[in-house]
Chains A and B, each alone.
Chain A
């Protein structure tokens, strides 16, 4: 990669500012509330942008670009169906309970509404998950830095072995994220998430512009792609007639309802940003403000994937070819034979190279003998192909920023849940506030160290990480049913909630063990008990696992509630919809009312789906 001083300077500036913000905020961190909850004092627009940025880690950016290249504009379902409706719901209906109940975290809300065991179950699984996600972010960043050869030149200049780049990237990201959270707590994390949001926009908007111009605009792009790549709803009546391999019901119920509501309405990683606002009204507006940019993000992160496919033939300059995509620890030091690269890239599609075995140098093929494409390189190759030095530094900084803020959101969620829900509740109750503030800082260091362990584990044992990710999906799948019943049905009892939650997870495990996606072998992909049903794609299997988990949790919790003693209604005021005074909106200007914003958002959503149907 031919980076110049200009590119380095931009990256360096970003790091200086990120840490500078942390230092500037340090003096405001006087109480645990300042540190864990940003003093509940931030304006709604800041928290709104942080709300989507917390989720917009680099895996998301790279993954969405990859999906765009693989499936086309249908990937936008992950935004339009898989995020916006849930964001509207959490803002309009659920936020008053999270904010109004004075709970400091999502697990704490579960304790207020149900009991200790439900909270402990949620807090423990969530804490493990955050550390794991932050570790995966760290690992992915180090791999990308290695793959793009960002640090190769300075390492060679100082005569350091290139094999150290991976460790250097891990340690560098750990120090920076630790630095700014340790100093400025949640405020620092939120500020950096907002900074990252604007950097992503600033880095990717010119990419889409230049890319579109090069392929002849939207019409030119459409002409170069298969027809179903530019239509998101085509062939959705049957799972076998669309690229996603899932039919409209599985898509809207599995992704649009269970998975998306389960994530956006219950995950403390995003909810914590809304809970940092200065009032309940602002907290309700946070997800609604976030939904506006979220709706247009497909044009920023999915479109580059489509352009990557449509861009004519690879040129030789600086492009990442297949042999360099999966470097082992020392592989990056090995020059790739030129002939091999040229031979393999011609088999790729647009800017997407084929995957090559790093050791043997052979092209990887699927079961039918077709070469496997490395879609994850869609976005990085777009940056390298279209950006000259200067703006290339900005594009790379945006990518690095999204890795960092993805990690930071997880680390702040971890330190809060650890300190409030585990340490203060079960290890040391009733200590002075300063003690918990200190514990928060220690938890930040601990969280980062554990993330580093996860990053190295991910490097050494790929299968263990896949399995863990699968286990977490089982734990998360039934979660929304518990919150839905807890908030909107006063009869739901604690025993019912806990039993339902655990049974939902068991149902997800059993469903996974009994089904298999087409073209997969029994094992990690499913069917490890016996195969009773085949799904056309892994995505369809995931969606239906979630639907089963949710349904089992919901039905069991309702049935058990009828056989167990409910809590007194007076104890549930502020926690259940029917027993809580409705939020008053008439004193706000009409355009600032959450219900009006929600209707506007739904209209925009329908319009976008109609345009790209």
Chain B
């Protein structure tokens, strides 16, 4: 069993991105966007966060599945070594 940070982090960004994005969609053209130089910043940034969150989530899940296929040593370790991210 491992906890890859990218899974919960991706999930958080997905949920927050969805909330902000949907709110932005509903409030399109509202006066509240006078503040943000006329841009519907909620919709735009919600979409950016969805993409980022989705990417993180998928990467995290994929590495978890790869890990599950291998015999695991040292189950006290939350993240196995040599799993290919960053090195």
Contact = CB atoms under 8 A, between A and B. Distances in A.
Interface of A: 6, 9-10, 13-14, 17, 20-21, 24-25, 27-31, 34, 38-39, 41-46, 48, 187, 191, 194-195, 198, 202, 206, 210, 213-214, 278-279, 281-282, 285, 289, 317, 385-391, 393-394, 592
Contact of B86 (A13, A31, A45): A45
Given A213-B37, A386-B36, A14 B76 contact: no
Contact of B45 (A29, A38, A42, A391): A391
A48 B87 CA distance: 12
A195 to B, nearest CB: 6
A53 to B, nearest CB: 13
Contact of B76 (A28, A198, A206): A28
Contacts of A385: 35
Contacts of B15: 13
B58 interface: no
A322 to B, nearest CB: 21
Nearest to A44: B86
B81 A394 contact: no
Nearest to B76: A30
A390 B20 contact: yes
A440 to B, nearest CB: 15
Contacts, number: 126
Nearest to B21: A390
Given A29-B76, A195-B9, 8 more contacts: A6-B23, A10-B20, A46-B5, A198-B52, A202-B49, A289-B86, A390-B46, A394-B45
B32 interface: yes
B81 A278 contact: yes
Nearest to A198: B9
A391 B23 CA distance: 10
Closest 5 CB pairs of A and B: A278-B81, A45-B86, A388-B32, A41-B77, A390-B42
A48 B86 CA distance: 10
A532 B60 CA distance: 61
Interface residues of B, number: 42
Contact of B78 (A13, A14, A41, A279): A41
A337 B15 CA distance: 41
B85 A194 contact: no
Interface string B46-69: 100100100000000000000000
A45 B31 CA distance: 41
Contacts of B42: 388, 390-391
Contact of B9 (A9, A194, A206, A388): A194
Contacts of B33: 388
A44 B79 CA distance: 11
Contacts of A281: 87
Residue of B39, B42, B46, B74 contacting most chain A CB atoms (<10 Å): B42
A486 B20 CA distance: 53
A390 to B, nearest CB: 4
B20 A28 contact: no
Nearest to A588: B87
Contacts of A390: 19-20, 23-24, 27, 42, 46
A187 B78 contact: yes
B77 A39 contact: yes
B61 to A, nearest CB: 15
Contacts of A214: 37
Contact of A210 (B36, B74, B83): B36
B71 interface: no
A198 B55 CA distance: 13
A388 B8 contact: no
Interface string B5-34: 100110111011001100110010010110
A25 B15 CA distance: 21
Contacts of A25: 3, 78
Contacts of A393: 20
Contacts of B8: 17, 20-21, 24
Given A210-B36, A388-B35, A43 B41 contact: no
A392 B77 CA distance: 37
B87 A387 contact: no
A44 B83 CA distance: 11
Nearest to A20: B8
Contact of B37 (A187, A210, A289): A210
B41 A391 contact: yes
8 contacts: A6-B19, A27-B1, A34-B77, A42-B79, A43-B86, A206-B45, A210-B41, A390-B20
A213 B39 CA distance: 10
Given A213-B37, A388-B32, A278 B13 contact: no
A346 to B, nearest CB: 20
A38 B2 CA distance: 13
A48 B20 CA distance: 29
B86 to A, nearest CB: 4
Contact of B39 (A29, A210, A289, A389): A210
Contacts of A45: 85-86
B36 A387 contact: yes
Contacts of B12: 13-14, 17, 195
B5 A388 contact: no
B82 A278 contact: yes
Given A41-B81, A43-B87, A387 B9 contact: no
A28 to B, nearest CB: 5
Given A46-B5, A385-B35, A39 B78 contact: yes
A524 B81 CA distance: 50
A44 B87 contact: yes
Contacts of B23: 6, 390
Contact of B81 (A14, A34, A202, A279): A279
A579 B11 CA distance: 48
Contacts of A213: 37, 39
Nearest to A21: B8
Contacts of B16: 10, 13, 394
A318 to B, nearest CB: 9
